[in-house]
Copies of this chain bind each other. A is one copy, B any other.
Amino acid sequence: MNGKFEELKHRLAEVVDLYRVGHLLDWDQQVVMPPRAAALRAEQSATLERLTHERFTSSEIGRLLEDLRPYEESLEADSDEASLIRVARRDWEKACKIPSELRGEMAQAAATALPAWVQARESSDFDSFLPHLKRNFELKLRYIECFDGSGSAYDILLDDFEQGMKTEEVRVVFEELKRELVPLIAEAKANPVDDSALQGDFPVDAQRKLNLFVLERVGWNPDSWRLDEIVHPAAYSFGTTDVRITTRYADDGLESLFSTLHEFGHGLYERQIDPALERTPLCTGVSLGIHESQSRMWENLVGRGLPFLRWLYPRLQREFPEQLGAVEVDEFYRAVNKIQPSLIRVDADQVTYNLHIILRFELEQEILGGSVALDELPGAWAARMEEYLGIEVPDDRRGVLQDVHWSGGGFGYFPTYSLGNVISLQMWERVREAIPDLDDQFEQGEFGALRDWLRENVHRHGSKFTPQETLERATGSHLDASPYLRYLKEKVSELSGAAA
Contacts and interface: CB of A to CB of B under 8 A. Distances in A.
Interface of A: 13-14, 17-18, 20-21, 24-25, 28, 32-37, 39-41, 43-44, 47-48, 51, 55, 222-226, 238-239, 241-244, 278-279
Contacts of A224: 34, 36-37
A37 B238 contact: yes
B279 A34 contact: no
A224 B223 CA distance: 30
B226 A32 contact: yes
10 contacts: A13-B43, A18-B48, A21-B21, A21-B44, A32-B226, A34-B224, A37-B238, A37-B241, A39-B241, A40-B238
Nearest to A226: B34
A449 to B, nearest CB: 24
Nearest to A22: B21
Contacts of A51: 14, 18, 51, 55
B242 A279 contact: no
Nearest to A52: B51
Contacts of A47: 13-14, 17-18
Contacts of A41: 242
A55 B238 CA distance: 24
Contacts of A223: 34-36
A25 B34 contact: no
Q: Oligomeric state, in number of copies?
A: 2
Nearest to A25: B21
Contacts of A279: 40, 43
Nearest to A34: B224
Contact of A241 (B13, B32, B40, B278): B40
A126 to B, nearest CB: 25
Contacts of A239: 37, 40
B242 A17 contact: no
Contact of A278 (B18, B20, B40): B40
B33 A17 contact: no
B242 A40 contact: yes
A44 B20 contact: yes
A241 B36 contact: yes
Task: Enumerate the 9 nearest inter-chain pairs by beta-carbon distance, A residue then B residue, closest first.
Answer: A37-B242, A17-B47, A40-B239, A36-B241, A17-B44, A36-B224, A36-B223, A37-B241, A14-B47
Nearest to A239: B40
A17 B48 contact: yes
Nearest to A242: B37
A484 to B, nearest CB: 34
A262 to B, nearest CB: 20
A44 B13 CA distance: 9
A48 B34 contact: no
Contact of A28 (B17, B28, B36): B28
A217 B225 CA distance: 36
A242 B34 contact: yes
Nearest to A20: B44
B48 A222 contact: no
A238 to B, nearest CB: 7
Contacts of A244: 34
B40 A21 contact: no
